[in-house]
Structure 1
Amino acid sequence: MINLELIRTDPDAVKRAAHAKRVDIDIDHLVELDREVRRSTEQLDTLRHGLKQASKQVGAGGEGRQVAKELGDRVRAAEQANRELRARFDALLARVPNILAPEVPEGDDDRDNLEVRTWSTPRTFDFPVRDHLELMLGLGMVNLDGPRKFAGGRSYALTGPGALLELAVLRYALDTVVGRGFTPVIPPVIVREQALFGTGFFPGSREETYQLPADDLYLVGTSEVGLVAMHSDSILAEEQLPLRYAGWSTCFRREAGAAGRDSRGLYRVHQFTKVEQVVICHADPAVSEREHYGLLDNSETILQSLGLPYRVALACSGETGLGQYRKHEVETWMPGRDSYSETHSCSTLLDFQARRSRIRYRAGGRNEFAFTLNNTAVASPRILVAIVENYQNADGSVTVPEVLRPYLNGLEVITR
């Protein structure tokens, strides 16, 4: 959540951010609720003080028993009213969006994103282009029919070279970012509600999240949740920062309502594997901006070394999530879709997650809320879509990108 002082001192800035992000929230009502909570708390403190004084009189000479009883009843009633008021306030505050970086363009959806740059030129084929599903089925890289019998729609099993190619690209991405100073982590993928609230996925993304009702637990859609939550309710030493993590995890998303061409093949599935970059750093916008572009560079380096054409776009306000201050989307060229399609999302959240997760660090004799950032290093099977489609050959085989061959015992071409 954002700093409450900003809402109190500059509510118009928060209103502008909400409008730009297309978030329907009544900031004026929130400000009034804040005043009511403070008035209620002051009244409660006064009653508690009065009860304390009356209780002393009862203990000293037995006088004032009736006064103390009446004050006790009033305190309990005031406490209940205060709790209810705070609950209403907290529920509304949790829906307040973060402010936006000045350079973020206003817009409704990805059509309004601002293209920043492209890398390489999409390949021109001199034979009919196959999509990834045709290629992978033909090469024994994926099984759809079997898994969908027992696991339902959008289920799949990577098989043979498909499984090995996923492991190769994930390990290559992990090795790349670890080589740049990131600590590898395999975090839990089953978490409590607070972890999802703390990272800003709740309350807004409940419909996208798988729940385990019997245990009151949830499956994560990104290892970002666990990497940030590891430090919840903690005070870090300043010299620990920045913390840079590379999280490897299976991820789960319901993809409620997704349809159309995205539902074919492996582009949009319920279960996938991802290497995610997460940074926890000083509460300094300049430091945060530097870390943001460092995360972006890591992902671009991976795509360039894989030889995959891509473009980088600055997400417009309507595409920037509740807690995001700045977001770049990296879209990789996919010949089967004849378009650039999202494969990476690089986000700066300032102290939005740290406030919700209570992550602080000690600096200059005081505790400061840290800043957090994240970006995909690589996500599979979506990255496999780009690899097999861009590296396909006329005979239906797929050439293995050179940087992945050491992870595949030197295999150069996947054939049937």
Structure 2
Amino acid sequence: MLTRTCLGGGAAAAATLLSLSPSIRRCSLLLPSLQQTLLLPFSPRLVSYRSSPPPRRFSASAALATEEEHKVAVAGKPPQWKAAIDFKWIRDNKDVVATNIKNRNSSANLELVLDLYEKFLNLQKEVERLRAERNAVANKMKGKLEPSVRQALVEEGKNLKEGLVALEEDLVQLSDQLQLEAQCIPNSTHPDVPVGGEESSVVRKMVGNPREFGFVVKDHLQLGKDLDLFDFDAAAEVSGSKFYYLKNEAVLLEMALVNWAIVQVSKRGFTPLITPEIVRSSVVEKCGFQPRGQNTQVYSIEDSDQCLIGTAEIPVGGIHMDSILSESDLPRKYVAYSHCFRTEAGAAGAATRGMYRVHQFSKVEMFVFCRPEDSDSYHEELIAIEEELFSSLGLHFKTLDMATGDLGAPAYRKFDVEAWMPGLGRYGEISSASNCTDYQSRRLGIRFRPTPPEGVQNSKKGKGAGSAPTRFVHTLNATACAVPRMLVCLLENFQQENGSVVIPDVLRPYMGGLDVISPK
């Protein structure tokens, strides 16, 4: 039985204990190399973890879970799903993978993955050898035999069967352990991504200039109070901190932002969606988020395998789960509206006050499924759409190519957009655009079948000269409009000396022609 957990982060090494079952021990004389094949190195860092603490009604905590916390959460439990990880590529490119893990500050243990993979291959060979021997014994028994010879073959077949059953069980457990460790390895990284922490990120583009005010500016909290747009106090009594009521024109402004964003993006060939807001935890995991563990942004529903979504990226990513698309169907481009739920605990402070960081918010998300050779160009298309949207609102912002240390596990490359928020006195992130290549599709099981050459048809059974091997699609996601951050930007940037706020021209048709929010 595999029993393990990882305690804390930052330790360089991790290992696994695979205990030999009694049936394997009984077969040790038959298989002299078996114990050497199965025993894995042991580290004091590994202990048994057979059960997890009982979850709360909505089990949640602070920040994005680390790979180590993911492993603690699933310790002693077989994976509920398996990613199509290219272990051979990882082994053959171990130096590149090791450098990538280091650059991205990941706690993934490459040495352990390679060790487990080697042991898996050895054990697999042993299983295949036993199966061949068992088949050979079965073939010998088909002929006419002396009773003593037949009895000897029966005994030999029985011993082989016992050994094979035990080995197959341990092969499954070893495969599970290999999956758990390998799933912590982050995606590869685009060669142009700057190496380092967030401070190493590079500005790609600067749009507009900060507005110069001839009066003392207010932040969005004060503006919301003066204009009767928010109620944080009542929401705190009803729901807790970091929730809010929108009131009066703020409601119209949210709806205007959502409708405007969906209409503008739909014009560019994106299919509009409204997504489920509760999804299976396995789908959350396959998209690269950790729904369990001490530090997670995900609200998990007690006594259920379901979670509240933190972004529409998750349900949209799963819309083609376990399917094979036709190349002619690509790209598939979606623009999705949803409410999003994030724990965001531990993020209190002046920099995140008010609506900048909340537990529940509305968002419009873009998502693309495409061929691998097209993902870089669609990444540029997504960031161009974001820049066009924010420019049309009259915002001053900058686009950044985020450094390796700021990339989440799924992202191959990520562009962030940070807008100037005069009331907060700083730039704040309002959107991001990520190319996840095949990281998510290998977990979600989304492939496409290439179009055969002209004059050749695909075989109905997927075989033959006209049937090219299926390939994993690439996935990309980008924010068209995260409503609370946009409200912060609009209120703070377009405030007037008399306390009113001017509505950007592009939003006025969606607000019944209202052009100014005035004091009551």
Q: TM-score range by the shorter chain?
A: over 0.9
Give the superposition deviation at 1:377.
0.4
Give the superposition deviation at 1:38.
1.2
1:366 partner SS: coil
Matched letter for residue 321 of structure 1? G
Aligned to 2:396: 309
Deviations 1:241-282 (A, max 9, x none): 001010110001111321212441100001111110111100
Contact persistence 1:154–1:263 (CA under 8 A)? no
Deviates more, 1:172-181 or 1:66-75: 66-75
Structure 1: how far apart are the matches of 2:143 and 2:353?
A: 79
Structure 2: how far apart are the matches of 1:312 and 1:43?
A: 54
Structure 2: how far apart are the matches of 1:55 and 1:229?
A: 46
Alignment of 1:258 with 2:347, yes or no, is yes
Unmatched runs of 5 consecutive residues or more in structure 1: none
Structure 2: how far apart are the matches of 1:411 and 1:191?
A: 38
Q: Aligned match of 1:328 in 415, 423, 431? A: 415
Q: Aligned match of 1:8 in 91, 102, 126? A: 91
Give the superposition deviation at 1:53.
4.4
Q: Aligned match of 2:160 in 71, 74, 83? A: 71
Unmatched runs of 5 consecutive residues or more in structure 2: 1-82, 145-149, 453-467
Deviates more, 1:293-302 or 1:258-267: 258-267
Q: Aligned match of 2:331 in 234, 237, 242? A: 242
Alignment of 1:39 with 2:122, yes or no, is yes
Structure 1: how far apart are the matches of 2:291 and 2:87?
A: 18
Give the superposition deviation at 1:203.
6.8
Aligned to 1:279: 368
Give the superposition deviation at 1:240.
0.5
Between Structure 1 and Structure 2, which shows a larger proportion of strand residues?
Answer: 1
Give the superposition deviation at 1:58.
6.3
Change (3 A) 1:380 1:70: same
Aligned to 1:405: 508
Alignment of 1:195 with 2:283, yes or no, is yes
Alignment of 1:351 with 2:443, yes or no, is no
| TM-score, normalising length: structure 2 | 0.77
Aligned length: 413
Q: Aligned match of 1:390 in 473, 489, 493? A: 493
**RMSD of Structure 2 on Structure 1 (CA):** 1.8
Matched letter for residue 438 of structure 2? D
Structure 1: how far apart are the matches of 2:501 and 2:88?
A: 56
Structure 2: how far apart are the matches of 1:97 and 1:106?
A: 15
1:208 partner SS: coil
Structure 2: how far apart are the matches of 1:188 and 1:58?
A: 59
Change (3 A) 1:203 1:213: closer
Change (3 A) 1:237 1:12: same
Structure 2: how far apart are the matches of 1:166 and 1:69?
A: 71
| Percent of aligned positions that are identical | 36
Structure whose CA Rg is larger: 2
Give the superposition deviation at 1:88.
1.4
Structure 2: how far apart are the matches of 1:265 and 1:195?
A: 31
Structure 2 counterparts to residues 112-191 of structure 1, below 5 A = 112-191=200-279
Deviations 1:358-394 (A, max 9, x none): 1100015110011111110010111100011111111
| TM-score, normalising length: structure 1 | 0.95
Deviations 1:36-59 (A, max 9, x none): 111111211222333344456668
Alignment of 1:93 with 2:182, yes or no, is yes
Structure 2: how far apart are the matches of 1:221 and 1:50?
A: 52
Change (3 A) 1:165 1:60: farther
Structure 1: how far apart are the matches of 2:265 and 2:310?
A: 21
